[in-house]
Every structure is written in C-alpha cells, then in structure tokens.
Amino acid sequence: MAVEVRIPTILRTYTGGAKAVEGSGSTLGEVIKDVESGHPGLEDHLLEGGDLRRFVNVYVNDEDVRFLDGLDTVVADGDVVVVLPAVAGG
Amino acid sequence: MLTIGQHVYDEIVTHARRDHPDEACGIVAGSTGSDQPLRVIPMLNAERSPTFFRFDSTEQLQVWRELEEHDEVPVVIYHSHTATEAYPSRTDIGLAFDPDAHYVIVSTALCGNGEGSVEFRSFQIVEGVVTEEKVEVA
C-alpha cells in the first residue's frame, strides 16, 4: 500500500531534495521502516528508543499521531503522512 | 542583521506583553528567499507555561501549509522570556532547527503586562552555535 510521506526542508538531505517520498506498510511504524530502507538515516531523525522523537510532529491525514495510536496508527493506500519539526524552546 | 518594520516589531511586543507571565510564541512569514519578515502569525503556546513553549501541533500544520501555498517561510521565529534576559536558553539552542531563521527573543521580565521597557534581540542558531545579530527597525 502506497502512502505519501512529506518531508520537511531540514530532512530533505536524506531524500535527495525530494519534498515527498512513498512508503508502504499498514501502520505508521511500518511505513517509516520502509522509507528508511530507501533513504537511510531518516529514521534516526524520527525515532528515539523505538518511539517517536518528542520534538518531531508526525501527522496522518492531518491528525497528530500523538492523538491517534502513535507508531501503531493504521494507514491505508492514499493516506498522507506529514513530518514537521516541532517549534519549541524554553 | 534583522530588518523589520515598526508594525511587525510592535505586534510581537504586544503579543509578548499580553501573554506574560506565560511565554508567547509565533512566527513572522515572508516570501521564500526574501529574508523580509512581513506577516506576524501569533501561535498558541500549547504548554501555556512561564518557562517553556511549544507551537500547538495542529495549528502549526495549518500555518505551515498556508506558508507553502503562498511560497513563504518563517523568516522569524519568536518567543518571549518572562523572567530572564532575551538570550537563547540551552533548550532554545538544542531545539533550534532552522539555520536560515532569525530567532527573536523578547524579554518581558521588566515590563510584565505593562508598557515598560522590553528587551528585543535576534539570533542565528546553527548547529548549536548562537550568533547575535543587529536588529534594525525601519
């Protein structure tokens, strides 16, 4: 199943400059693994200790996955995943 | 150097004073590559905290999409410090991700919600290195 994954500017060095890449899988976690296989290094910027990094926002069809099932969020053909760096500080 | 219009400066300061004692945060959008911050977009601080800020993730997605449609970028990313000086904290430095952005910090430590003086400073933060830059209000 093909899912579009939109990559923020800061991570496009891993996608050869592409704004979006395709991934497959039935959950967000599987899609990230699949994208990593074609674009090594990306995963490290999204995950930490097997979970999503605290200061990276990931959305499936415009919903922040923190309010869904995180990496277990179910995705389907045609879904859109958006990655954005969180804007935060102290 | 950061060059901003008086109205942009005023809008940021007004936002910071209004949200004191919580930290205020937002961006100033401008055309990609222009380095001209024109449109102030105040953002919700999802943390509603006097010591921390984080853009509300849902609002951020909406705003980032709007920027893309208009071929704009966040030329300025601003937030306030409400008890300390307007200099990037360790957290600010660690979480800064945009080497092209002007990171503006406003301190409301002296004025609170009132009309007293504010500190308004701008920085570039690249891979953990902070460089202060001159702010020219034109």
Per domain, the residue ranges of chain B are: 2-137
- Amino acid in the structure at residue A23: G
Residue A70 lies in domain: 2-85
| pLDDT tens over chain A, length 90 residues | 699 999 999 999 999 999 999 999 999 999 999 999 999 999 999 999 999 999 999 999 999 999 999 999 999 999 999 999 999 999
For residue A28, what pLDDT is reported?
98
- Tell me if A86 and B57 make a contact (CB, 8 A cut-off): yes
Provide the 10 A C-beta neighbour count for residue A49.
6
Mean pLDDT, rounded, of chain B? 97
For residue A1, what pLDDT is reported?
60
Q: Is A70 on the interface with B (CB under 8 A)?
A: no
Q: What is the CATH number of the domain that holds A53?
A: 3.10.20.30
Residues of A in contact with B90 (CB under 8 A): 90
Distance from CA of B3 to the nearest CA of A (A): 22
**Residue B102 phi, psi dihedral angles, 5° rounding:** -95, 120
Sign of CA dihedral B12, B136, B132, A14: positive
Residues of A in contact with B97 (CB under 8 A): 10, 85
Say if A45 falls within a structural domain: yes
Say if A90 falls within a structural domain: no
Instruction: Please count the structural domains in chain A.
Output: 1
Residues of A in contact with B77 (CB under 8 A): 87
What is d(CA A20, CA A7) in angstroms, rounded to the nearest whole number? 5
Say if A61 falls within a structural domain: yes
Band (B7; pLDDT cuts 50, 70, 90): very high
- Tell me if B61 and A57 make a contact (CB, 8 A cut-off): yes
Q: Could you read off the pLDDT of B106-135 as tens digits, one per residue?
A: 999 999 999 999 999 999 999 999 999 999
Taking the domain B2-137, which CATH number applies? 3.40.140.10
Whole-prediction pTM: 0.95
Per-residue tokens: A2: 């093909």
Specify burial of residue B102 (Cβ count, 10 A radius: 0-12, 13-18, 19+). buried
What is d(CA B89, CA A47) in angstroms, rounded to the nearest whole number? 25
For residue B19, what pLDDT is reported?
98
Beta bridge partners of A4: A22, A80
What is d(CA B88, CA B106) in angstroms, rounded to the nearest whole number? 10
What is d(CA B115, CA B56) in angstroms, rounded to the nearest whole number? 28
Say if A32 falls within a structural domain: yes
Q: Could you read off the pLDDT of B37-91 as tens digits, one per residue?
A: 999 999 999 999 999 999 999 999 999 999 999 999 999 999 999 999 999 999 9
What is d(CA A9, CA A19) in angstroms, rounded to the nearest whole number? 7
Say if A70 falls within a structural domain: yes
For residue A67, what pLDDT is reported?
96
Enumerate helices (H) and strands (E) in chain B, giving the number of each.
3, 9
Contact between residue B125 and residue B86 where contact means Cβ atoms under 8 Å apart: no
For residue B71, what pLDDT is reported?
97
Q: Is A54 on the interface with B (CB under 8 A)?
A: no
Supply the ipTM of this predicted assembly.
0.95
Contact between residue A4 and residue A20 where contact means Cβ atoms under 8 Å apart: yes
Say if A49 falls within a structural domain: yes
